[in-house]
């Protein structure tokens, strides 16, 4: 999980499906519920003198998580108790809480955010963190998770809901960065495409992704049903072609029979 320190505006997600249509502006409004990360949590850390993989493994064995506190002109190796770190990461504001970092033995408070963390691939435990000092009066760039709410009307009629963009990039003051963005998709029908441009503005938050190219969610016909319909259509077309061929054959046979009868009649008249 990473919160970028610079805007990384993707070119957008293109959804190449001709059967999908863009959501009409007249559709029901979308609900956006942003849990603001205004909570400020104190996190006490201590400076780390031991550097190196062997020493960091020893720290983890003691229940301590190594990390780095990045400031404007410094990068301080730190260590924080795993239990205390888990407490702040699972709080109401989740990963977007503002952390009042205090270094052991000092009184200075360093307002910071969790910039990045690493997890053990097997155990799933946190193995390293990066904290970045921020100014509360200056905007930052962050990635915010998208959560879909409700069951689309199109799903109830056999469609399939797909979440395309799981995160969107925003710019806001640290206290205004949403923990997540909830979008009500209950009014999406089969064929609807929800783009970033279809979402109303969020107060004090600037969306950085391309509003017309960034697809948030779609409701489409399941692939299996589409293939079945295509197969049935192909069979119907083949049957129609065979029927037309048979009809042409019967028509040709009838014409031949008529011609033969006419020839026979002419032959009888000439004999007489």
Could you read off the pLDDT of 4-24 as tens digits, one per residue?
443 332 332 222 222 333 344
Q: Tokens standing for 130? A: 């990066």
- Let me know whether 186 and 112 are in one domain: no
Domain boundary among 86, 103, 133: 133
Decide if 88 is inside a domain.
yes
Give the count of domains, the chain: 3
Reply yes or no on whether the pLDDT at 196 is more than 50.
yes
Query: 220 CB contacts (<8 Å, ≥6 apart)?
Result: 17, 19, 20, 159, 160, 162, 190, 191
Average pLDDT, the chain: 76
Residue 210 has pLDDT above 90, yes or no: yes
Is residue 11 domain-resident? Answer: no
Q: Which of 36-40, 211-215, 229-233, 264-268 has the highest mean pLDDT?
A: 211-215
Quickly tell me which residue has 């019967």 as its tokens.
250
In a domain, 229, yes or no: no
| Residue 6 domain flag | no
Flag whether 184 is in a domain. yes
Q: At residue 61, does pLDDT exceed 70? A: yes
Q: Residue 271 is part of which domain span?
A: 237-272
Give yes or no: residues 127 and 201 share one domain: no
**Do 143 and 33 share a structural domain?**
yes
Q: Does residue 163 have a pLDDT over 90?
A: yes
Residue 49 lies in a domain: yes
Q: How confident is the model at residue 175 (pLDDT cuts 50, 70, 90)?
A: confident
Q: What is the 3-state composition of the chain as percent helix, strand, coil, each rounded to the nearest 5?
A: 30, 35, 35
Q: Token pair 């009066």 is at which residue? A: 137
Largest CA distance in the chain: 135
- Per-residue pLDDT tens for 142-153? 888 899 999 999
- Asked whether residue 84 falls in the same domain as residue 157, the answer is no
E strand spans, the chain:
21-22, 32-36, 40-47, 64-70, 75-81, 98-103, 109-119, 126-133, 140-149, 160-163, 167-172, 178-184, 192-195, 206-207, 215-220
Lowest-confidence segment of 93-107, 163-177, 215-229 by average pLDDT: 215-229
Whether 70 and 129 share a structural domain: yes
pTM above 0.75, yes or no: no
Closest listed residue to residue 112, CA positions, set 128, 97, 123, 125: 97
2: in domain: no
Instruction: Quote the pLDDT of residue 246.
Output: 65
Does 77 map to a domain? yes
Residues 51 and 129 in one domain: yes
Do 192 and 263 fall into the same domain? no
- ∠ CA 54-133-139, rounded to 5°: 140
Q: Tell me how far apart the terminal alpha carbons of the chain are, to the nearest angstrom.
A: 104
Q: Supply 75's token pair.
A: 């990068």
144/213 same-domain check: yes
């Amino acid at each position: 999980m990473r919160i970028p320190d610079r805007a990384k505006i993707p070119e957008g997600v293109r959804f190449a499906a001709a059967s999908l249509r863009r959501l009409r502006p007249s559709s029901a409004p979308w609900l956006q519920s942003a849990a603001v990360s205004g909570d400020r949590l104190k996190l006490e850390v201590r400076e780390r003198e031991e550097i190196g993989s062997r020493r960091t493994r020893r720290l983890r064995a003691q229940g301590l998580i190594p990390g780095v506190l990045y400031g404007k002109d410094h990068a301080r190796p730190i260590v924080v108790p795993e239990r205390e770190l888990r407490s702040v990461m699972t709080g109401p504001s989740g990963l977007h809480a503002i952390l009042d970092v205090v270094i052991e033995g000092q009184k200075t408070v360093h307002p910071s955010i969790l910039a990045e963390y690493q997890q053990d691939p097997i155990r799933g435990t946190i193995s390293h963190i990066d904290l970045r000092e921020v100014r509360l009066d200056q905007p930052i760039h962050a990635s915010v998770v998208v959560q879909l709410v409700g069951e689309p009307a199109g799903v109830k009629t056999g469609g399939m809901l797909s979440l395309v963009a799981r995160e969107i990039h925003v710019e806001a003051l640290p206290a205004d960065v949403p923990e997540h963005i909830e979008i009500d998709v209950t009014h999406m029908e089969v064929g609807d495409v929800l783009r970033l441009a279809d979402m109303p503005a969020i107060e004090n938050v600037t969306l950085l992704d391309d509003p017309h190219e960034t697809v948030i969610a779609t409701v489409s016909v399941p692939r299996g049903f589409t293939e079945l319909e295509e197969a049935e259509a192909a069979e119907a077309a083949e049957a129609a072609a065979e029927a037309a061929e048979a009809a042409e054959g019967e028509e040709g046979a009838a014409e031949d029979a008529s011609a033969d009868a006419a020839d026979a009649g002419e032959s009888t008249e000439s004999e007489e």
